[in-house]
Amino acid sequence: MYSRAYKTIVSLPPLLWVGVFLLLPYALMFAHSFWAVRDGTVVHQWNLNNYHTLFSKPVYLEVLLRTMRIAASVTLCSLLLGYPLAYYLSFHSGARKELLYQLVIVPLWVSYLVRGYAWKTILGSEGVLNGFLQYLHLTHEPVSFLLYSPFAVVLMLTHIYTPFVFLPIYAALEHIPRPLVEASQDLGAGSAQTFLRVIFPLSIPGLVAGATFAFVLSLGDFLAPLLVGGASSTMISNVVQSLFGAALDWPLGAAISVCIVIVIISLLFLTERLEKRWSFK
């Protein structure tokens, strides 16, 4: 069909892109994780010390576990918010559907940083929420647990990633042919049974995709802990950042990154199988 020259010209830019901006950086990161650092400079001496440090010092594993805990909480919270919202919009919002959809999407256009600082303003000891609580005379002095806690991180990330969870679920729900819902009612199923037996099973691929977004994006987040998290909620990316930055230990940072990539790739592999298992046609 197409000439060899045409095929080459068309495929070259994406291949170059993938090569220069994906494969090369990954290869460099992978190589770094097996190198050493002496007097603040990287020496190209192959060894496994970085991985040894990683698994022998409990602090890294602790942070990684905490990160996964936070990511899991964010995933759960955004599913609990995003699914009912998507369900309502897709099945029961009627003529307001388009407007509500846009309202859900609008926050995505606002800078991540702005939203982060907004939460700082809301949750801080001089913040909006504390002011409100005192105005209501529910507390007499500012409540401090709101800001600089894992709670704040989960809250902020949930706010940021709920639209990401909402979108694939909404798309999956919109794809369910409405005659299936009518067929279910026709066969004697009320709303609850129709949801459990038809709508929910058919929305699982969207649910899995949304959960994956929330989990993977939260797992790699480092701004939320910086802005609203504090020392008690340091996440794995903060560790990587400080190793590459202040500590100047690129090889150890790279080793952690390799571990994260492995965790994420296994997760994606798993979720893809799940999505396949639950998609039909």
Could you list the residues that contact other proteins (CB under 8 A)? Answer: 177, 179-180, 182-190, 193, 197-198, 201-202, 278, 280-281
64/181 with CB nearer other proteins? 181
Rounded least distance, CB 276 to other proteins, Å: 13
62/182 with CB nearer other proteins? 182
Rounded least distance, CB 95 to other proteins, Å: 11
Among 191, 192, 199, residue whose Cα is nearest residue 174: 199
Rounded least distance, CB 177 to other proteins, Å: 7
Q: How far is CA 13 from CA 4, 9, 16, 18, 69, in A?
A: 15, 8, 5, 9, 40
3 state SS of 184: helix
Strands (E), the chain: 36-38, 41-43
2/280 with CB nearer other proteins? 280
197/273 with CB nearer other proteins? 197
Rounded least distance, CB 184 to other proteins, Å: 7
57/197 with CB nearer other proteins? 197
Q: How far is CA 53 from CA 48, 56, 57, 185, 236, in A?
A: 9, 5, 6, 60, 15
Rounded least distance, CB 198 to other proteins, Å: 6
CA atoms of 272 and 186, how far apart (whole Å): 34
Among 76, 272, 270, 264, residue whose Cα is nearest residue 162: 76
13/188 with CB nearer other proteins? 188
52/277 with CB nearer other proteins? 277
Rounded least distance, CB 56 to other proteins, Å: 47
* Residues 6 or more apart whose Cβ sits within 8 Å of residue 168: 205, 206, 207, 209, 210, 213
CA angle 132, 135, 140 (to 5 degrees): 100
Say which residue the tokens 């939203």 belong to: 115
CA atoms of 141 and 258, how far apart (whole Å): 45
- What are the backbone dihedrals phi and psi of residue 41, each rounded to the nearest 5 degrees, phi first? -120, 150
- What are the backbone dihedrals phi and psi of residue 275, each rounded to the nearest 5 degrees, phi first? -60, -40
Rounded least distance, CB 87 to other proteins, Å: 17
